Chains A and B, each alone.
Chain A
Amino acid sequence: MDSLTQKIREIASNILKEGRVDMVIGFAKGTIPMTTKPYMARTPEQVENFIWDKNCTLNLANYITGRKEKIGIIAKGCDSRNIVNHIVENKISRDQLYIIGVPCSGMADKHNPDELRDNCATCTHRNPVIFDVMAAEPVEEQKIDDPFADVKAVEAMDKDAKWSYFEGLLQNCIRCYACRNACPLCYCPTCFVDESGPQWVGKGQNKTDIQTFHFLRAFHCAGRCTDCGACEAACPMDIHVRAFTRKLNKDSLELFGWEAGLDITKRPPLDTFNPDDPNDFIK
């Protein structure tokens, strides 16, 4: 057994035995090869189901929203950043959590197991930013010259090319909302697409309704998205959902010098007013 898996099980089992937490959230083997599923262990015996490999692609911060128990959670770099978001947004309190940090060297692409998945290839926060204990020594962070090359390529297109690019991107979306459900940011009790009075968006497979869903969902993630890739990991239709959020991540960085989920003492830029905020869009 892989030493990281062993270490995770050991820590998880100890904190459960000591009664420090009521449950530990981690990954267990999925039902088909090369997949994992989120798993909550409530007893030291259940800890034996935890695994750690290249397929832990979901974001476990998604499963702590609004919970009342004391929770142990296994966190790679991006999960830890979404945990920070959750603390800042009052979805959980820091003292409810015991964070088992796992340095991550990137998760595998779901179709190309020998390669890193897209978001991991440009990740610069592989080590957890917040933790109570680390399961291993930190890994070296990647140095990426141009993390937003893909966004820039779209920015360089003319407006019709951009539109057809995004139209093409979404044409296979079946609107199952798996992306939204897997995203730790999407925790609203009733999502705007599910509202019926007023009904903001049509419910069917109308192309414009699908586009509206993606466009607005992305905007709700502005300044909050950690590029964890859970949305794409969950999508059954291989939609490049991050094409939208990455543009917003790039803007957040350029306009506000902001990367989401790095510091529990800072509010996200769209939530605060600062006299230096760029405001040349106001006439």
Chain B
Amino acid sequence: MANLFEHIGMEKERLQFSWISSAEAGKFTNVATEVANTIEALGPIDKFVKKTD
């Protein structure tokens, strides 16, 4: 899916996967921060956005 994302010109990093157990609070916060940071760095998406006007 991420590969097809990239293929049509969207940033692959917008789609991230992780496997976290309910006991891994530390990992959860780390992954969440990392996801938030990557997305923030990419900025708002300008493709594949439905404009209703």
Q: Using a CB–CB distance below 8 Å, which chain A residues touch chain B?
A: 154-155, 157, 159-166, 202, 206, 208-209, 211-212, 215, 218-219, 244, 247-248, 251, 281-283
Q: Which of the four size classes fits the interface of chain B?
A: 20 to 34
In the complex, the answer to whether B3 meets A247 with C-beta atoms within 8 Å is yes
In angstroms, Cα B10 to Cα A160, docked, is 8
Interface assignment of B31: CB less than 8 Å from any CB of chain A: yes
A residues near B18, Cβ cutoff 8 Å? 282-283
Q: Are A208 and B49 neighbours in the complex by a CB distance under 8 Å? A: yes
Known: A155-B7, A208-B48, A282-B17. 5 other contacts (CB 8 A): A154-B7, A159-B11, A163-B9, A206-B50, A215-B8
Known: A206-B50, A219-B1. A283 touches B17 (CB 8 A): yes
B29 CB, nearest partner CB in chain A, Å: 13
**Chain A residue with the shortest CB-CB distance to B5:** A215
Interface residues of B in 1-48 (CB under 8 A from A): 1-4, 6-11, 16-19, 31, 34, 47-48
Residues B9 and A160 in contact, CB atoms below 8 Å apart: yes
- CB within 8 Å of A: which residues of B? 1-4, 6-11, 16-19, 31, 34, 47-51
- CB-CB under 8 A from A163, the residues of chain B are 8-10, 47
Contact of A162 (CB < 8 Å), options: B3, B7, B16, B50:
B7
Tally inter-chain residue pairs, CB-CB below 8 A.
55
A162 and B8 contact, CB distance less than 8 A: yes
User: In the bound complex, how far is the Cα of B14 from the Cα of A159, in angstroms?
Assistant: 14
The residues of A that contact B1 with a CB separation of less than 8 Å are 219
- Provide the bound-state CA to CA distance between A164 and B51, in Å: 17
Q: Return the chain B residue nearest A169 by Cβ.
A: B8
Task: State in angstroms the CA–CA spacing of A192 and B34 once bound together.
Answer: 33
CA distance A16 to B38 in the complex (A): 64
Closest to B2 in A: A281
Residues of B within 8 A of A219 (CB): 1, 4
List of A residues within 8 angstroms of B17 by Cβ: 281-283
Q: CA–CA, A159 to B7, complex, Å? A: 8
Q: How far is the CA of A105 from the CA of B6 in the complex (A)?
A: 35
By a CB distance below 8 angstroms, the chain B residues around A247 are 3-4, 7
The CA-CA distance from A208 to B17 in the complex, in Å, is: 25
Residues of chain A with a CB closer than 8 A to B3's CB: 247, 251
Closest chain-A Cβ to B40's Cβ sits at a distance in Å of: 17
| Smallest CB gap from A244: residue in B | B4
Q: List 5 A–B pairs whose Cβ atoms lie within 8 Å, in order of A's numbering.
A: A157-B9, A166-B9, A206-B50, A208-B48, A247-B3
Bound complex: CA A159 to CA B11 (Å): 8
B19 contacts which chain A residues (CB < 8 A)? 282-283
CA distance A257 to B4 in the complex (A): 18
Minimum CB–CB distance for A24 against chain B, Å: 38
* 5 smallest beta-carbon distances between A and B, as pairs: A163-B9, A162-B9, A208-B50, A159-B9, A283-B18
